[in-house]
Amino acid sequence: MKNPLDSLWGTIICGLILTVILYFMVKGILG
């Protein structure tokens, strides 16, 4: 599988997905 970080769009999409995951993690911590 190609590393998504090799392309700029892959990097941006990974960053956006990580933002959503961390958002729900923080929401969970804050209750």
Partner 1 sequence: MDYVPALARWIHFMAGVMWIGLLYYFNFVQVAAMKAATADGTAAGISKHVAPRALLFFRWSAVVTWLAGATLLGNQFGNAFLFRGGMAGIGVGAWLGTIMLFNVWVLIWPNQQKILGLKPATDEEKNHARRVAFLASRTNTMLSIPMLFFMAGGWSHRALFGL
| Interaction site with partner 1 (CB under 8 A) | 3, 5-6, 8, 11-12, 14-16, 18-19, 22-23, 25-27, 29-30
Q: How far is the CB of 24 from partner 1 (least distance, A)?
A: 11
In the bound state with partner 1, the residue whose beta carbon lies nearer, of 1 and 30, is 30
In the bound state with partner 1, the residue whose beta carbon lies nearer, of 1 and 26, is 26
Q: What is the DSSP string of 1-31?
A: ---GGGSHHHHHHHHHHHHHHHHHHHHHHH-
Whole-angstrom distance, CA of residue 31 vs CA of residue 27: 6
